[in-house]
């Protein structure tokens, strides 16, 4: 079954890029441009992984994470943080990894594959 | 011996030479008088010797006076502020420049004159020098009596009496205002270069990403992905284009191209139309207020357009980045009207995030941006430049969390005749 990945980033270019990378890697990406939309998509799609930008309008990435971690069916979904924010690794309790922009497609796909290996 | 002044030529030694020479003449004259054993001759010789001695004393006095005048002239001619202070920090002496730029009264304390204070400064340099006999220095900002703010390096040096005790302390103030200004410009330039490199890097990242998307779309025969990637290419090329236009606008000595019968309201409508769709996408409402405008219409329409675009783009971003407020929707007001002085006013007001207190002073600096990867940091510099080209000014009021209002005030009597003529020449070309 194709893994579903929720991409949460307010920058359209980054979303488009990550969708292309994940599609090429054989995954099924779903996108959201803010924390509020991300929460709705997460409830609706029950993703296997969330790619999260921490610096967004509406609800910031950290607020989205706070909501996500309170929901029983979503709290164990692994999260990869994508952000240029300093101290980003501290904002999310247990991100499986943290990516700085610019993102190398191959490295990114390796990281995603590793997440699914570790969380089988 | 190279470079050393011969002892005999120094005024002090020359004085002594004259006295010794006078005394020798007296002794010789007395000896001659005794030898010829003639009272008149002795008396004559003695008088001659006394005259020579008197001449010697007069010469010494003249040289002393000259030395004093030279010293005074030097003291006054030095291109820095000098004052001499006693232990009570009262000014004993000061040079012309010091007296000209600070309101020096007889017996005044230095802190009253320089700092307009009632008490001595903490860490007083002069006091330190009196205490330890050493030279001390610090940087100070002082305001002259005509209101100029000066950055100064101040040195305090001990002046000793013949017994070696510190009788007074001299303070020398060197004006480094221009150096500091240059230092600030260099810092800004360094930041501008770093900012520029950062912006270009971000755009390149966007372009690399878009190439990846297009190529992946081609590999996977995914038309939608190719189309999305191509849109990314277009967006990033537009960003480069925007950056270059802004850079050229700010760095080049560009003559404004004023045209007659320009309708400022029309410019406002054009810009509103341009941004309407984007604002709708972002959930931002536009409120446009166009008043009656009766100015003669001599403006540079392209510049006005560019200026308003920058203000509108900033306002939209201020709403987009308004994360904390939890507002359901945002509103941007675009206004154009004439005030009571007949000045043309453009206002762009948003109810977005506002400008944080700590960055308020930096908004008109090169490449300053709070928009992360999205801003060029040039927008408000362009706004300021256009306003100034029209003889006007830009100001803003901001309330963090509540919004910002930028106002451009273009005086009714601008552009000047000189600019109009220049522009007329350009337009004929």
Q: Dump the DSSP string for B310-342.
A: HHHHHHHHHHHT--SS--S-EEEEEEEEE-TT-
Residue B422 reports pLDDT greater than 70: no
Q: pLDDT value at position A95? A: 65
Distance from CA of A51 to the nearest CA of B (A): 17
Helix orientation angle between B379-389 and B223-251, rounded to the nearest 10 degrees = 40
Calculate the average pLDDT of chain B.
81
| Class level of CATH domain A4-115 | alpha beta
A26 touches chain B (CB under 8 A): no
Last residue of one domain, picked from the residues B77, B107, B131: B77
Q: pLDDT value at position A88? A: 46
Chain B neighbors of A12, CB-CB under 8 A? 232, 235
Is B19 within a domain? yes
Chain A neighbors of B206, CB-CB under 8 A? 13
Beta bridge partners of B336: B290, B346
Last residue of one domain, picked from the residues B77, B102, B135: B77
Binary contact (A57, B220; C-beta < 8 A) = no
Q: pLDDT value at position B429? A: 33
Q: For chain B, how many structural domains are there in total? A: 4
Tokens matching residue A1: 């079954």
- B87 and B52 share one domain: no
Residue B287 reports pLDDT greater than 60: yes
A22 touches chain B (CB under 8 A): no
B347: domain range? Answer: 264-428
Beta bridge partners of B403: B399
Nearest to A57 among B212, B216, B321 (CB): B321
User: Which residues of B touch chain A, with CB atoms under 8 Å apart?
Assistant: 205-206, 208-210, 212-213, 216-217, 219-220, 222, 225, 228-229, 231-232, 235-236, 320-323, 372-374
Residue B258 reports pLDDT greater than 90: no
Binary contact (B323, A57; C-beta < 8 A) = yes
Is B29 within a domain? yes
Residue B423 reports pLDDT greater than 80: no
Say how far apart CA B383 and CA B314 lie, in whole Å: 11
Is B257 within a domain? no
Beta bridge partners of B331: B285
- B270 and B224 share one domain: no
In the block, tokens 């999305």 appear at B228
- B302 and B419 share one domain: yes
Is B256 within a domain? no
- B384 and B307 share one domain: yes
Lowest mean pLDDT among B122-126, B263-267, B339-343: B339-343
Binary contact (B212, A13; C-beta < 8 A) = no
Model confidence at B409, in pLDDT bands (50, 70, 90)?
Answer: very high
Lowest mean pLDDT among B107-111, B277-281, B344-348, B376-380: B376-380
The helix, strand and coil proportions of chain A, stated in percent and rounded to the nearest 5, come to: 45, 20, 40
**Residue-wise burial string across B208-230, b where 16 or more C-beta atoms lie within 10 A, e elsewhere:** bbbebbbebbeeeebeebbebbe
pLDDT tens-digit readout, B328-354 = 788 999 999 988 888 899 999 999 888
* Domain assignments of chain A as residue spans, ordered by start: 4-115
pLDDT tens-digit readout, A91-109 = 455 667 788 777 889 999 9
Say how far apart CA B384 and CA B380 lie, in whole Å: 6
Last residue of one domain, picked from the residues B126, B155, B175: B175
pLDDT tens-digit readout, B91-113 = 999 999 999 899 887 788 999 88
Give the containing element (helix H, strand E) for B113: helix B110-114
- B301 and B405 share one domain: yes
Model confidence at B22, in pLDDT bands (50, 70, 90)?
Answer: low
- B140 and B44 share one domain: no
- B287 and B211 share one domain: no
Give chain B's length. Answer: 429
Q: pLDDT value at position A112? A: 94
Distance from CA of A20 to the nearest CA of B (A): 5
Mean pLDDT, residues B151-171: 94
Please, which residues 56-115 of chain A have a Cβ atom closer than 8 Å to chain B?
56-60, 84, 101-102, 105
Is B258 within a domain? no
């Amino acid at each position: 079954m194709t893994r579903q990945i929720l991409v949460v980033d307010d920058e359209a270019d980054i979303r488009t890029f990550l969708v292309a990378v994940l599609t090429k890697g054989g995954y099924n990406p779903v996108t959201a441009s803010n924390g509020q939309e991300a929460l709705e998509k997460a409830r609706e799609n029950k993703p296997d992984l969330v790619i999260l930008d921490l610096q967004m309008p509406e609800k910031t990435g950290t607020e989205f994470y706070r909501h996500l971690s309170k929901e029983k069916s979503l709290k164990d979904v692994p999260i990869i943080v994508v952000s240029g924010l300093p101290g980003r690794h501290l904002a999310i309790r247990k991100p499986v990894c943290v990516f700085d922009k610019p993102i190398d497609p191959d490295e990114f796909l390796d990281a995603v594959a590793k997440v699914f290996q570790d969380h089988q | 011996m190279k470079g050393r002044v011969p002892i005999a030529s120094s005024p002090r030694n020359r004085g002594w030479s004259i006295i010794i020479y006078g005394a020798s003449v007296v002794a010789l004259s007395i000896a001659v008088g005794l030898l010829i054993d003639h009272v008149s001759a002795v008396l004559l010789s003695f008088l001659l010797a006394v005259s020579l001695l008197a001449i010697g004393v007069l010469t010494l006095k003249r040289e002393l006076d000259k030395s004093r005048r030279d010293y005074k002239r030097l003291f006054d001619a030095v291109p820095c502020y000098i004052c001499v202070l006693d232990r009570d920090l009262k000014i004993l002496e000061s040079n012309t420049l010091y007296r000209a730029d600070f309101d020096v009264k007889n017996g005044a304390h230095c802190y009253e004159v320089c700092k307009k204070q009632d008490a001595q400064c903490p860490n007083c340099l002069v006091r330190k020098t009196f205490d330890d006999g050493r030279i001390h220095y610090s940087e100070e900002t002082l305001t002259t009596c005509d209101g100029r703010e000066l950055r100064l390096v101040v040195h305090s040096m001990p002046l000793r009496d013949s017994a070696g005790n510190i009788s007074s302390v001299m303070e020398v103030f060197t004006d480094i205002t221009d150096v500091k200004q240059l230092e600030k410009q260099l810092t800004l330039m360094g930041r501008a270069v770093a900012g520029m490199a950062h912006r270009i890097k971000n755009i390149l990242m966007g372009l690399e990403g878009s190439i990846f998307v297009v190529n992946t779309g081609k590999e996977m025969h995914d038309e939608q992905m190719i189309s999305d990637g191509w849109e990314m290419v277009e967006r990033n090329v537009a960003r480069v284009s925007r950056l270059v236009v802004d850079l050229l606008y700010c760095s080049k000595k560009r003559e404004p191209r004023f045209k007659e019968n320009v309708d400022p309201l029309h410019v406002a409508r054009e810009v509103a139309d341009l941004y309407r769709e984007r604002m709708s996408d972002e959930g931002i409402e536009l409120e446009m207020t166009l008043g009656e405008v009766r100015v003669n219409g001599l403006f540079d329409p392209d510049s006005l357009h560019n200026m308003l675009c920058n203000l509108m783009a900033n306002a939209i971003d201020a709403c987009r980045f308004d994360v904390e407020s939890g507002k359901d929707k945002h509103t941007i007001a675009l206004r154009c009207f004439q005030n009571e002085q007949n000045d043309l006013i453009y206002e762009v007001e948003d109810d977005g995030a506002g400008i944080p207190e700590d960055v308020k002073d930096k908004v008109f600096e090169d490449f300053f941006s709070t928009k992360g990867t999205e801003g060029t940091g040039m927008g408000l510099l362009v706004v300021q430049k256009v306003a100034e080209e029209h003889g006007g000014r830009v100001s803003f009021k901001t309330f963090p969390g509540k919004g910002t209002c930028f106002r451009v005030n273009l005086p009714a009597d601008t552009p000047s005749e000189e600019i109009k003529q220049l522009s007329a020449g350009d337009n004929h070309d």
